[in-house]
Every structure is written in C-alpha cells, then in structure tokens.
Structure 1
Amino acid sequence: MAPNSSPRRVGVLGFGRLGQSLVSHLLSQGPDLGLELVFVWNRNPDRMAGLVPPSLQLQNLAELGERHPDLVVEVAHPKITQEFGGGILQHADLLVGSPSALADASTEQQLLEASGRWGHSVFVARGALWGTEDIARLDAAGGLQSLRVTMSTHPAGFRLEGPLAQVSCSAPRTVLYEGPVRGLCPLAPRNSNTMAAAALAAPSLGFDGVIGVLVADLSLADMHVVEVELRGPPGPSGQSFAVRTRRENPAQPGAVTGSATVTAFWRSVLGCCQLPSRPGIQLC
C-alpha cells in the first residue's frame, strides 16, 4: 500500500480455524500492511463471543454493504458463496476460500455475471494446490492433456455428505471417490477445494476433465497428503511430458485444514489485496 492511500477494508465470512487465524492476522498485522478488518460474520455468532470485538461482529449478512468493505473473504462453507456471492460482488471483491462452490455451473455463471456487472473481482485461493502457476501456464500453452489430484488423510479429517458419508473406512486404505472433480465437490465440499482449484487452474480440462481421488488412510492421523499428477500430449518421439508432486501437510487429528494451508491462505489474502479489481475469476 502507498503511504497516503486509505486502508483496504476487509470483511471475513466464517470463524472456524481458518477464519480465526485470518482475523488474528488482520488485527495484529493488518494496520501495518494497510489492511483494516471491518467485520466478521459466522453462521453461529456465539463462536465469536469473547474473541471478536462486538463492534466487528456482523449479525446479519444482508447488512454487509453497510460496512463498506473492499474485499470480502469467504472461509465458511461453499453454500455461502453459492447463496450470497453474487450479492457480495455488488459491494466488494470476493476471495473464495471454498472453491468447490464453483463446481456448480450455475454458481460460476452467477459470479461471472455479477463480477462483470459491478466490476469486482472473484479471487480464488489456491489453498493446498502446489504448482498452481505451472499448471495454469502449461494449460494456456496447450500442453496439458490430463490432470489428477489425490487427497489422502485419516477419515476423521473428512466432512462427507450424501452416499460418501455412509462408506465404511475400516480398511487401512479406502478409495472413497475417483472421477471428475465436479462429481466429488457436492459430496465432499470441505475436502475437495484443492481439486476445485486445480480445475480452475486448468480451464481446458475444467471440473469435468480434472480427476479427483479421495482416499481415507488410517495411517495419516496427523497429516494431509496431496498428490498432483499431470501429463502432456505425446511428442514426436511418442513420449509425454509428465510431473508428479507429493505435498505432506501436517494437521491436527480430525482437522479439515492443514497447518501449511493456513499460512498459504494468508498469503493469498495479501496477494489479492495487491491486485486491481477487474471482472472475472482469478487464482491467487
């Protein structure tokens, strides 16, 4: 921020582990970075008691615009972006912390239309996706043929819905889902965000072409493992360019969000605050 510029006003939706960390950073470091926390909203406002100053607690999401935010950060649940994202963009840029919301095609279209109408950006946090820029550059150059993202952790770290919630995870390693990311996001909305970020980084494949694999592994009680495998089309010799990465992210037992992801998200907030508002969806 330039010395004489006004602070960038930030609102936070969600007060789970990620939201609490973000609020703490904004209160302690924000003023020195040109950032001002203007509200915190949570579906259960009781969780904010004693932790968020009453003046910063937003009780009614419909009154968000009265706080005049420049950036609203969603770290609550994909349904918040699906239900309120378009309205938020009327007032501010939106940083989506639950990109699995965009697996719903109507939500993606609604956000794009609202972004274009009001001139505000839709930022998407890369979260635990390693090599985001490399994937995006390869895809833009036409060099990406396949992309597969595998998320493995202890079953206590999953928050599953629908038929996946009924699957038994008594075996040492259980593959819960393998298929297009679009089909996984509604069943594991809080555990598929890395895969959703990959689908957005590789629009030539998108939610229908990027393959997501969700694995319950009883040996990973304190860790989330994300493996990314990509391959390009065969070259003149018949060989294909290929990359495989493995990211081991320490996590508290039963936690949805790993420790390194919390740090990465704060960097995403700082990153998008340095970018100009412009219509469209962009990873940060």
Structure 2
Amino acid sequence: MLAADAGMIGCAFTNTSPKLMPAPSGIKPVLGNNSVAYGAPAGKYGTFVLDMACTAAAVEKIVKAAERNEPIPKGWAYDEKGVETVDANEALKSLSLQSFGGYKTFHLSTVHEILTSVLAAGQLFAGASTGFRPYEHLLHDARNRCRDLPPARRIRGRDVGDDQHAEGRGERHLFCRRKIPGRTRPAQPRRRPCRQFHGRDPQRARQRHRPLALTKRSEIRRSRVARYTKIGVIGSGKIGGNILSHIHADGELKLTFVLDPVADPANWDGVPAEIFVTDAEAALERPVDLVIEAAMPKVLAELAPRFLQSAAFCGFSCTTFADPAIEQAVRGACEKSGHVFFVPHGAMLALDGIGDGRALLDNVTITPTKSGPSLRLDADASGLLFEGSTRNVNVHATIALAGIGFDKTVSRVIAAPGQETMEHHVEVSGTGLHWDLKISSRSLGGVTGAYTPHSAIGSIRRLLGGNGIVVA
C-alpha cells in the first residue's frame, strides 16, 4: 500500500508455518500457504490490491464447516492418506490442503519460500525436517545489510531531512523512480484518495496512506538491534523457566517453542499452549534464530549439532563437552553452518579474564563447598568427595572451556552438612599473575543458587544485543 500510494507497484511474499501443502502426488505437507500480495495505483479508482494464499481455501473455512457439520467442496483438502476429501473433520486431522492451481501454484509457492528466506533473512521452512539449508549462510548477512540501508529522504520531490547529496546525483531513495538525465515524463494528475476504502474525509485518507519515509523521526521507535528475534528454549526448570518468562515478556522477541516433555502449559500464564512441544522433531521444524538449552548434558549432545545447522545455540549443560567427540561434533556443525555455540557464564565470575589470559595460565582449581542436598547427596554427606580433572559440574566445565581445558582444570568437591550457601573458590595462577576468587550465593533448593537464574538472564540479554553503553 505504501508503494502504491507513492505511484509505484508493490509486491510482498511470505512463507508460513505450519506446513499445509504437500508436493504434487505427495502426502506429507512440506510448504505453508505462502501468501502473496500486490498493490498498484488505479487513478481515480483508488488502489488495486490483490492479497491471496496459495492454498485453495483457508483453514478457518474448514473449521467453520466442521463446526456446522457440513461437507467442504472438492479441491480443498486431503485426508491423512493423501486422498481428496470433503469431510471437514478429516481435513482438520491431516491439515493437508490443496493448492488452488495444482502443481503450478505449488511451484509458485516454492518461489515465495525461497524469496522470503533469502531476501528477508527468514527461515526456510521447507527444509526444516530434512536438513536442506542451501541458503542458511546468507540469512544473517542479508538481515544486516537491510538494517544498514539509509532511510528514505525524498518522495516525489518532497524533502524529508537533508538530501542535498541525493538531489545532486539525481537520485531518490525509497518509493521513487530514478531520474534519467535528458529524459522527462509528462506531468501526472494528483491522485485522490479512494472513498470506497476511507470514507469521505480526504485528509484522513491521506494520513492513513502517508508513506513511512514521511513519518517524523520522533514518531519512529528506535528499538534495540537484536541479532536474534525468534527464540526456542529447551527445558523449563529453574533456569529454563526464568529464561522462558523473560523472553515471553519481551515485546521484541518471539518465543517459537519450549521443548520439555514434562512441562505443563497451565503453569505459564499468557504463553500459548501450542508453544510447548514434547518431541524434538517438532521443535526442529519451528523457525528459530537462537536455541537456549537448560536441560541435561545428553540433550545438549543430541540436539546442539542438529539445531546448529540452521540457528545459533546457547547451552548451559556444558559438562557434555568433557567427551571430545561431542565437542568435535559441535565445532564441526558450527564450521559447516557458520552459526555459533554460546557458553553462558552460569553464575561463575571472571570467565572473560580467564579466556583473555589463557595463554599465560598454568593452573586452574575450582573448589565448591555445598550441603549434601545441593550436591544431590544425603544431608549428612561430609568432607572431600572428589578431586580430579573437571568432568561433572557445569560451571566448572565453563571455566575449562574458557581456560586451559578439561584435563588441566582441577575440581575439588566438598560437602558441608547444614551449609545454607553455595560457595565456589577459584584459584588461577600463571606467568605474572595469581587470582583468588570466592563466590557465594544462597541455595534455592537442589543444585541451583540464588544468583544462577539472574546470571542466565544476563547472558541471554548480552546475546540478544542492545544499544547504549555496553561493557565488553
């Protein structure tokens, strides 16, 4: 509509989820309804607008037919066996809709899928379950390029801000035709707003059709620039639950899934029940920019390499990297896709200094002192329980990854009956340095300290980006 109001023809495409259309002669849906819209100026008749989906009918029409216990027309949907059906209930079970133009429209919908995923830095839904990601390395680059484009300055000869340089080159940015030296166009009559859509108030119509580039800068909300906007969460315990709530409360982020086989959606006010999934395959099909794991090491080991094919990954269960094969699999997935695996600090301080100075370090020792229940042991557990290379504590694994590795990082685990706090003593020594850190926080019950959920949220905030002054 903005393009049409500026005297141009505009078109827009989108791909959608869930998948609704099977391939010709196929059974399983592989594409959404992948809508397309066009707008063009129509002189005294206002604006021509076409907005349609590539399926023969909308799901809502089938729902209404099922509610009225009425059949649906032929050519709308298939049943679960891929056979054309007129039974609305069978169509809702399969959610497999026919395209309105047979194989031609299916292929047109495929074009929309490609254009949307590459040009708009979106998700290629068609390959989510197959690992087909031919354009994945282009997506974040395309997004950043779009964000770096200069704002529109001139529309049909009207100044918006300082555009002397553009006018000198004979250029107009958004919604404007490029001037060609030596060529002129005949004057065009001023187009009046269409009363059919906007009533009899021309001023109101002009306001509703005002191009975005003419909006005052003070009216444009300058939001933070986030690298990731579509977020998936694995696990909804103390840490995962806090992250889930934080993301859901953020108006600029979209929670696309929560993978947890035992989560009860009723415990999360305002979070749609369909966000929760119990099957990893269902989560892998959801569009996502960043996946945050707060579950178990074996879950991270299994899912991180798969999600890294199409998204960044942040994992809290870092003890899984004590197995060199898993670390190699994750690193290989990152190198192949160009995505990043993030290691959150998990309530452990000084990781930045340990990482920066790793070339100077000789020894790193971590000594946690906790009550038996905080170590998943009996309350009367006491004394030194373990001393050796780091293997089974996530925050220790984080230090090992940041510093000199699992084999050279020493863990000493001490149980203290009746202790209410969770204490970590970190000793670091190397060429020209010696650090002695003591970290203490109250136990929330189990193995999680009071500071841990806050540190997790802090890590996620840094990953999501921001503006203003940032401590690096």
**Matched residues in 2 for 1:4 and 1:199: separation?**
33
The corresponding residue for 2:52 is: none
Q: Which of 417, 429, 437 is the aligned partner of 1:218?
A: 417
The corresponding residue for 1:195 is: 396
Number of aligned residue pairs: give it: 244
Tell me by how many angstroms 1:263 deviates: 0.5
Note if 1:13 corresponds to 2:234: yes
The percentage of counterpart residues that share the same residue type is 27
**Matched residues in 1 for 2:224 and 2:463: separation?**
20
Contact 1:250 / 1:259 at 8 angstroms: preserved in 2?
yes
For normalisation by structure 1, the TM-score amounts to: 0.80
1:17 maps to amino acid: K
**Matched residues in 2 for 1:245 and 1:91: separation?**
38
Tell me by how many angstroms 1:5 deviates: 6.6
1:12 maps to amino acid: V
Tell me by how many angstroms 1:259 deviates: 1.3
Note if 1:92 corresponds to 2:311: yes
Tell me by how many angstroms 1:126 deviates: 0.9
Tell me by how many angstroms 1:19 deviates: 1.2
Tell me by how many angstroms 1:154 deviates: 0.8
Q: Report the structure number with the largest CA radius of gyration.
A: 2
Q: For residues 55 and 215 of structure 1, do their structure 2 counterparts lie closer, same or farther at Cα, with a shift above 3 Å needed?
A: same
**Matched residues in 2 for 1:135 and 1:50: separation?**
39
Tell me by how many angstroms 1:170 deviates: 3.3
Structure 2 SS opposite 1:243: strand
Contact 1:15 / 1:48 at 8 angstroms: preserved in 2?
no
Note if 1:157 corresponds to 2:379: no
**Matched residues in 2 for 1:49 and 1:83: separation?**
28
RMSD of aligned residue pairs (Cα, Å): 2.3
The corresponding residue for 1:26 is: 247
| Larger RCO (CA under 8 A, 6+ residues apart) | 1
Q: Which of 179, 182, 185 is the aligned partner of 2:388?
A: 179
The corresponding residue for 2:254 is: 36
Tell me by how many angstroms 1:65 deviates: 3.1
Note if 1:230 corresponds to 2:428: yes
Structure 2 SS opposite 1:259: coil
Contact 1:10 / 1:70 at 8 angstroms: preserved in 2?
yes
Structure 1 SS opposite 2:285: helix
Contact 2:225 / 2:465 at 8 angstroms: preserved in 1?
no
Tell me by how many angstroms 1:119 deviates: 1.3
Tell me by how many angstroms 1:215 deviates: 1.3
Q: Decide which structure has greater strand share.
A: 1
**Matched residues in 2 for 1:178 and 1:261: separation?**
24
- Once the two structures are superposed, residues 9-65 of structure 1 have per-residue CA deviations (whole angstroms, 9 ceiling, x without a partner) of 11100011111111111122x21xx322111111324x4444242121123211223
The corresponding residue for 1:109 is: 328
1:180 maps to amino acid: S
Note if 1:250 corresponds to 2:442: yes
The corresponding residue for 1:278 is: none
Unaligned segments of structure 1, at least 5 residues: 160-164, 186-191, 234-239, 276-283
